[in-house]
Chains A and B, each alone.
Chain A
Amino acid sequence: MNQETTMARQMLRPMAPWPLVMLVAPVLPVATGGGGALAWTQSPVALAGLLLTLAAILLRRAAPSALAEAGLLLAGVAAAYAVPLLLLGRGLVPGAGLWVYLAGATLLLGRVLRLLADADGAARLAGPALFGLALVLLWEILTRGLGVPAILLPPPGAILAAFATHAAELWDDFGQTVLTSVVRGYLMGCGAGFAVAILADRVPFLARGLLPLGNLASAIPVVGIAPIMVMWFGFDWQSKAAVIVVMTFFPMMINTLAGLRGAERIQLDLMRSYGAGYWRTLLLLRLPCALPFLFNGLKINSTLALIGAIVAEFFGTPVVGMGFRISTEVARMNLDVVWATIAVAALTGSALYGALALAERRVTAWHPSFRKR
């Protein structure tokens, strides 16, 4: 295996020539603005960036290691991404030459990511982060450079600005939707699913009746009950929590039941030989064994709970909440606020998921799926 990766690394050394497409760039205009087309020689910033990138490509052979090469090339890519942003900041419109330069640099980024993918340790984690950052920067450059209407897709910078100007509103929405509805509904739904699963585990008749019902529920668009819950429980958090409870109940129950069956015969026999009763076996053996399944259910439900709360808010809320904000601001064409709200939702979802994944790592470090291979 080790031999294979070194072989792969050696095979990687010669670089695909595609990034050199940027050599065509200097003959094309770098930008337009004010007095017509701008040549590269008229824009020292752009010229410096291009020369820096080309220098990085030329010098890469001198790099002592793959990681050093990645760093060197990355500097070249960063220069290529900085130039359009600087020119846009001066009110210039990027021209064909700049686009060719950017395309070449993006291909170069592919090489960097490839080098990082072969590395190990923290460098491996840098790959996805760079990929995401590049996507956001490209989004910014493309939407502004090509003049994409903000109604269609605002640049990330505008969304960030909306974040700042609407911070108070967004925080209120977050409090209403996440801190009030989601947290309560999630705890109730997961708690109920867990409790019923423990009960069903004791009473097999119940389990045999509930499991098919749970499988059916996973195929049904449960979120459709949102209007009914809003009608029953009113506009405030209770109706959102009710939707979340219904959505999260079955995934949690099914996962807990599956987890409780995870303990092996031989382990159960051992507990028995210790004279441990039902509760002691449950607490000391079967629940720890079920932890990976429990976390699986909790992770699935963290996203479901957010979806449930936001969709339920489309059917009626007090005048605060993320679903309310999205639906009203879409109608008023304030797309930057909508995107800011979505960013909050995305960050919340990722944070919940990430926190659960971390907790899982902490609590179930003994599990085979986390052992070092």
Chain B
Amino acid sequence: MTTDPRTAGGRALFAAALPVAAMALFVLAAWYAGAVWLNAPQAADALTRAGAEWSFADLVRQTLAMKRPILPTPDQVAVDLHQSLTGYPVTHIRNLLYHTGVTAGSALTGFAMGVVLGVALAAGIVQVRTLEASLLPWVIASQTIPILAIAPMIVVILGNLGFTGLLPKAVISMYLCFFPITIGMVKGLRSADPLTLDLMRTYSAGTARTFLLLRLPASLPFLFASLKVAIAASVVGAIVGELPTGGQAGLGARLLSGSYYGQTVQIWSALVMSALLSVGLVLLVGLAERALVRGPGATR
């Protein structure tokens, strides 16, 4: 991989990167412009209260360096992130990595539970006709329900039962996760070539053996496509699950406490961290896919 635009590969990369870079620059510029525009009334107030005459340049400078801006600038967010990540030990409550770890823990637990549930449901649906006809429509209907709306209630209910901390959030993540996995796996488990299915039959392989040796490997590409969707959903579930816990730990709690106390920079830092977490997890699933899915199935 080279970025030298003279080589063919480099040129292709350059051609792909240019629009993205332009778009990123545009977003940055719009962000700064938005910060000036949204913070201007507050900044003008502050300057007028200070008493001295002020020019437009003063106003712009003031809008970009407010303590509690309506829209913080990217550099303010970056500075806050840097301070939080390097200024405190990792286990400290003011270090965002600690909160990211809490969120990632419940997201991954829920993800694991969702994978088990999703694959089990898919296996049942593929193997048992009754389940296909009567359960599959409800699996689909379950997703037209705004699940996240139930999130705070699940947390409160499980909290009353003595389950606090990780489990309630993981349950929400699980609920969001299992659907894409079930749908993807049903498709994947059915994707085995009829010819190879017949071959397994001539070997007099039973249902279980055919499932393990043929259907499961054939479903892997579909499974991983679903896993990428599911893991992003599990992060959303964990964050929303943290909202009603009253701001103890986790990125969702940072969002909530930031909104209570008007700490906009804190909200934005938490948002950036959650985006990084989610993108990172999706990339990890992609890496696992590369390592695990080989052979003819991978190209399908």
Q: Is B150 an interface residue (CB 8 A)?
A: yes
Known A113-B133, A314-B152; contact A219-B279, beta-carbon cutoff 8 A: yes
Nearest residue, chain A, Cβ from B27? A213
Q: Is B36 an interface residue (CB 8 A)?
A: no
CB distance from A98 to the nearest CB of B (A): 25
A276 to B149, CA, bound (A): 49
CB distance from A295 to the nearest CB of B (A): 14
Chain A contact surface mostly: helix
- Which single member of B19, B70, B145, B256 contacts A231 (CB below 8 Å)? B70
Q: Write out, one digit per residue, whether chain B residues 113-142 have a CB within 8 A of any chain A CB (1) or not (0).
A: 000000000000000011011111110010
From B182-190, B199-207, B208-216, B233-241, give the one contacting chain A. Answer: B233-241
In the bound complex, do residue A131 and residue B138 qualify as a contact, i.e. CB atoms below 8 Å apart? yes
Interface size class of B (residues with CB under 8 A): 35 or more
A345 to B270, CA, bound (A): 29
Nearest residue, chain A, Cβ from B160? A151
Known A208-B16, A221-B274, A224-B270; contact A117-B149, beta-carbon cutoff 8 A: no
Known A221-B239, A231-B264, A346-B145; contact A132-B138, beta-carbon cutoff 8 A: yes
In the bound complex, do residue B146 and residue A227 qualify as a contact, i.e. CB atoms below 8 Å apart? no
A335 to B133, CA, bound (A): 33
Question: Inside 8 A of B146's CB, which chain A residues have their CB?
Answer: 303, 306-307, 310, 345-346, 349
A353 to B145, CA, bound (A): 10
Known A128-B137, A220-B278, A227-B258; contact A314-B243, beta-carbon cutoff 8 A: yes
Known A113-B134, A152-B157, A345-B146; contact A330-B259, beta-carbon cutoff 8 A: no
From A27-35, A72-80, A319-327, give the one contacting chain B. Answer: A319-327
Interface size class of A (residues with CB under 8 A): 35 or more
Question: Inside 8 A of B23's CB, which chain A residues have their CB?
Answer: 206, 209-210, 212-213
In the bound complex, do residue B134 and residue A223 qualify as a contact, i.e. CB atoms below 8 Å apart? no
Q: Is A230 an interface residue (CB 8 A)?
A: yes
Q: Is B262 an interface residue (CB 8 A)?
A: yes
CB distance from B61 to the nearest CB of A (A): 22
Chain A residues numbered 131-181 whose CB sits less than 8 Å from any CB in chain B: 131-132, 151-153
A112 to B157, CA, bound (A): 35
A260 to B274, CA, bound (A): 32
CB distance from A234 to the nearest CB of B (A): 12
A209 to B17, CA, bound (A): 8
In the bound complex, do residue A350 and residue B145 qualify as a contact, i.e. CB atoms below 8 Å apart? yes
Q: Is A114 an interface residue (CB 8 A)?
A: yes
Nearest residue, chain A, Cβ from B156? A330
In the bound complex, do residue A232 and residue B134 qualify as a contact, i.e. CB atoms below 8 Å apart? no
A216 to B228, CA, bound (A): 12
Chain B residues numbered 1-53 whose CB sits less than 8 Å from any CB in chain A: 16, 19-20, 22-23, 26-27, 38
In the bound complex, do residue A223 and residue B239 qualify as a contact, i.e. CB atoms below 8 Å apart? yes
CB distance from B232 to the nearest CB of A (A): 5
Known A224-B270, A307-B148; contact A117-B133, beta-carbon cutoff 8 A: yes
A140 to B2, CA, bound (A): 65
State the total of A-B contacts with C-beta under 8 angstroms: 161
Q: Write out, one digit per residue, whether chain A residues 332-373 have a CB within 8 A of any chain B CB (1) or not (0).
A: 000100100110011001101110000000000000000000
Question: Inside 8 A of A352's CB, which chain B residues have their CB?
Answer: 144
Question: Inside 8 A of A207's CB, which chain B residues have their CB?
Answer: 19
In the bound complex, do residue B264 and residue A350 qualify as a contact, i.e. CB atoms below 8 Å apart? no
Known A151-B157, A219-B232, A314-B243; contact A326-B133, beta-carbon cutoff 8 A: no
Known A209-B23, A220-B274; contact A152-B145, beta-carbon cutoff 8 A: no
Known A307-B149, A311-B240, A342-B153; contact A113-B130, beta-carbon cutoff 8 A: yes
A338 to B252, CA, bound (A): 22
Question: Inside 8 A of A117's CB, which chain B residues have their CB?
Answer: 129-130, 132-134
Q: Is A218 an interface residue (CB 8 A)?
A: yes
A212 to B38, CA, bound (A): 27
Nearest residue, chain A, Cβ from B262? A231
In the bound complex, do residue B130 and residue A224 qualify as a contact, i.e. CB atoms below 8 Å apart? no
Q: Is B181 an interface residue (CB 8 A)?
A: no
In the bound complex, do residue B20 and residue A208 qualify as a contact, i.e. CB atoms below 8 Å apart? yes
CB distance from A170 to the nearest CB of B (A): 14
In the bound complex, do residue A221 and residue B278 qualify as a contact, i.e. CB atoms below 8 Å apart? yes
Instruction: Please list 13 pairs of residues, one from A and one from B, whose beta carbons are closer than 8 Å in the complex, sorted by A's number.
Output: A110-B130, A114-B129, A206-B19, A206-B23, A209-B23, A213-B23, A213-B27, A219-B282, A224-B239, A302-B144, A307-B148, A310-B148, A311-B243
Chain A residues within CB distance 8 Å of chain B: 110, 113-114, 116-118, 124, 127-128, 130-132, 151-153, 205-210, 212-213, 216, 218-221, 223-225, 227-228, 230-232, 302-303, 306-307, 310-311, 314-316, 322-323, 326-327, 330, 335, 338, 341-342, 345-346, 349-350, 352-354
Closest 5 pairs (CB-CB, A-B): A209-B23, A227-B259, A117-B133, A209-B19, A208-B19
Chain B residues within CB distance 8 Å of chain A: 16, 19-20, 22-23, 26-27, 38, 70-71, 129-130, 132-138, 141, 143-150, 152-153, 156-157, 160-161, 232, 235-236, 239-240, 243-244, 251-252, 255-256, 258-259, 262, 264, 267-268, 270-271, 274-275, 278-279, 282
